[in-house]
Amino acid sequence: MKIVSLFVLALMVAFVVPSAAQVKIAYFSSDAVLKQMPDAQDAQKQLDQLVADWQSDLTRMQDDWKRKFDEYDKRKLIMTDQRRADAEKELRDLDQKIVDVRTQKFGQNGELFQKQNELMKPVQDRVFKAVQEVAQEEGYDYVFDKSGEILLMYANEKYDLTQKIVDHLKVVAPTGK
C-alpha cells in the first residue's frame, strides 16, 4: 500500500512539475537508518527503560487499588455509612491518581513525549541534514521517507510554488471587504 501511495505521489509530482522527465525522485526508510545509528539505539533504550519504570509504577498503583477494592467489597456490608463513604472516596482518589500519573507520563504532552523530543530530536536532525546533503549531492529533486506515513523529506526549492500561490491570492483577493 505504501509503495502504491509513493508511486501515485511521484506521478502527481511528475505531472505538476514542468519538464517532468528531468525530475529525480528518491525514497529512503528512516526506520532502517535509525536502527543503524548507535545514538538512536541508545536513546530508544533510555526511552524503553523509562516506559518500563513508569509502567511498573502504574501496575503497582493498580494492584494497590485492586487490593483496596477487594477489601472494601468484602466488608462493605458491615461498614458504617461513614466508613463506606470514606473507603469509596479513597478508591476514587486512588483511581484519579492513576489516571493523573498515566496522563502526566504518557499523555499528549506528557513526560514521554518531552523525553522523546529531548533524546530523538538531535538524531532526527542529523538524519534530516544527511537526507538534504545526499539529495543535493546526487541531484534529487524530491526525497520521500517510506517509513510509516509517506513524508516529503527534501524538495528542490525551484519547484516550490508557495510564494506564487501567495502572490496569486493577493491579486485575486477581494478588496476592502
Tens-place pLDDT, residues 106-127: 999 999 999 999 999 999 998 8
Of the candidates 69, 91, 116, which is a domain's last residue? 116
Query: DSSP labels for 107-122?
Result: STTSHHHHHHHHHHHH
Selection from 135, 65, 114 nearest residue 94 by Cα: 65
Q: Are residues 20 and 60 in the same domain?
A: no
pLDDT of residue 151: 78
pLDDT of residue 138: 87
pTM: 0.65
Of the candidates 116, 143, 160, which is a domain's last residue? 116
pLDDT of residue 175: 56
* Number of neighbours of residue 144 by Cβ within 10 angstroms: 22
Ranges of the chain whose pLDDT falls below 50: 4, 6-8, 11, 17, 20, 176-177
pLDDT of residue 4: 45
Q: Are residues 31 and 70 in the same domain?
A: no
Q: Are residues 50 and 18 in the same domain?
A: no
Of the candidates 93, 116, 139, which is a domain's last residue? 116
pLDDT of residue 154: 76
Q: Are residues 19 and 84 in the same domain?
A: no
- Flag whether 54 is in a domain: yes
Q: Are residues 68 and 99 in the same domain?
A: yes
Q: Are residues 136 and 161 in the same domain?
A: yes
Q: Are residues 46 and 33 in the same domain?
A: no
Q: Are residues 167 and 148 in the same domain?
A: yes
pLDDT of residue 22: 85
Q: How many domains would you assign to the chain?
A: 2
pLDDT of residue 153: 79
CB 98 within 8 A of CB 58: yes
- Flag whether 122 is in a domain: no
Give residue-wise pLDDT tens across range 38-64: 899 999 999 999 999 999 999 999 999
- Flag whether 155 is in a domain: yes
Kindly tell me the sign of the dihedral angle through the C-alpha atoms of 41, 42, 47, 51: positive
Q: Are residues 147 and 87 in the same domain?
A: no
Q: Percentage of residues in the chain with pLDDT exceeding 90?
A: 47
Q: Are residues 104 and 154 in the same domain?
A: no
Q: Are residues 153 and 111 in the same domain?
A: no
Q: Are residues 132 and 102 in the same domain?
A: no
Range of the domain at 160: 2-37+127-172
- Flag whether 6 is in a domain: yes
- Flag whether 121 is in a domain: no
- Flag whether 106 is in a domain: yes
